[in-house]
Amino acid sequence: MTNRRQFLAGLLATGLAPSPTWADAGSPSYLSAAALPEGGYVLCGIGAQGDVLFQIPLPDRGHAAAAHPSRPEAVAFARRPGTFAVVIDCIGGKPKAVMTAPEGRHFYGHGAFSKDGNWLYTTENDYEAGAGCIGVWDVRAGYVRIDEFASGGIGPHEIKRMPGQDVLVVANGGIDTHPDSGRTKLNIATMAPNLAYVSEGGLLEIAQFPHDMHKNSIRHIDIAPDGRVGFGMQWQGDGEPAALVGLHQRGADIQLLTAPAERQRVMQGYVGSVAFDHSATKVGVTSPRGGVVQIFDAAAGAFEQEFVISDAGGIAAHRDGFIVTTGHGELGQVTNDQLSLGVRRPLAWDNHVVPIKV
């Protein structure tokens, strides 16, 4: 695989090869950041069989990544409150560009490409103003930042593009932070999380909670083919939250996915990642703190199953179920109500496994 990638990289350098595709990088199905035992960091391409196709060095700890919709190119984002993102040629395994957050901004670890792949959108914190913004980067010009617009809230974290259109969904966590205070949360008493539907033309719609749930920070999202947004939350209040998982579709109210009290308590108020399965009938969430994966029926809005997986982090649709990564180096699968954990690799997977959709 390495020799083939090097051969293709050489052809591309001489201009003799056709435009490359993800197949030229080994046809990875997923991207995930990981830490190495010796202390380095990498971005990995993962195949449909759970095999690691490539490992590309990163300058520091990565969080999530964005896959270009047609080219074998990925943007790896620093864990928040990081100020860098690395654009990687996944055939040659080399950085193409380094994106640096403007002065007064930091990234939140996530980004999304436009439908045509010509623009990249990044969630950012304008930390002096205490406001969220979306950075706009010109891909064709070499990932140059050209604009920004409001995220529709405070603390924008994950961002995804709606299917078939250039409407973006932003999980505004509602939590104000400032680099001078590290990761200290500065506004818990007044936080107001929301899901915002935005475009470069402005704010299109906001979905938010009633006041008694305003301490439930919306952090991670996935989108079904019909436009339903599944989201996971992180509870910042006292006592037990009403729910940690929800669904939303534009024009409707938020729907909470409920679990028995003892099952919800296991999550320790923390969802690390969320995903629909391929049929969009189930929603899976992870809790690295609780060491579990929970599966919900998306139609009934109810808890179905729980699997104990220590330090479960990333989750994404896979075959008839889900692929799950752990901080211990496992790539597990939840299929047909069964959990299987693969061989433990010398990689500590970060919180997200990102599907490559081409």
> Under the phi-then-psi rule, with left for phi > 0, alpha for psi from -120 to 50, and beta for the rest, what region is 5?
alpha
Give the pLDDT score at 16.
56
Give the pLDDT score at 342.
82
pLDDT at 13 over 70: no
pLDDT at 284 over 70: yes
> pLDDT by residue (tens digit) across 151-174?
999 999 999 999 999 999 999 999
Task: Give the sign of the dihedral formed by CA 176, CA 180, CA 182, CA 184.
Answer: negative
* Residue 277, CB-side half-sphere exposure with 13 Å CA sphere: 20
**pTM of the shown model:** 0.92
> pLDDT by residue (tens digit) across 285-331?
999 999 999 999 999 999 999 999 999 999 999 988 999 999 999 99
Give the mean pLDDT of 264-293: 97
Give the mean pLDDT of 230-256: 95
Give the mean pLDDT of 166-192: 89
Give the pLDDT score at 1.
47
Contact 172, 219 (CB under 8 A): no
Q: What number of other Cβ atoms are within 10 A of residue 114's Cβ?
A: 17
> pLDDT by residue (tens digit) across 307-316?
999 999 999 9
Report the percentage of the chain scoring pLDDT > 70.
Answer: 95
For the chain, what are the domain ranges?
A: 1-99, 101-208, 215-358
Give the pLDDT score at 14.
55
Give the pLDDT score at 223.
98
pLDDT at 250 over 60: yes
pLDDT tier, 200 (very low <50, low <70, confident <90, very high otherwise): confident
The superfamily (CATH) of domain 215-358 is TolB, C-terminal domain (2.120.10.30)
Rounded to whole angstroms, the Cα distance separating 55 from 42 reads 6
- Mean model confidence pLDDT for the chain: 92
Amino acid at 123: T
